[in-house]
Amino acid sequence: MGGDEFLIVASRVNEQQMHQMCGDIVKTVDQTMIDSGYPISLSIGMATYSDTARSVSEILHEVDLEMYRHKTEGKKTQ
50 within a domain of the structure (yes/no): yes
7 within a domain of the structure (yes/no): no
Give the range of the structural domain holding residue 22, as residue numbers without chain letter.
15-76
Phi–psi pair at 2, nearest 5 degrees? -155, -170
Report yes or no: 73 and 56 within 8 Å, Cβ to Cβ.
no
A 10 A CB-CB count for 44 gives 19
Phi–psi pair at 73, nearest 5 degrees? -65, -40
Residue-level pLDDT at 78: 47
10 within a domain of the structure (yes/no): no
pLDDT tens-digit profile of 7-62? 777 778 888 998 899 899 989 999 999 999 988 888 887 777 766 667 888 888 88
Identity of the amino acid at 22: C
Number of domains into which the chain is organized = 1
Q: What is the pTM of this model?
A: 0.65
Contacts of 66 (CB under 8 A, 6+ apart): 45, 46, 47
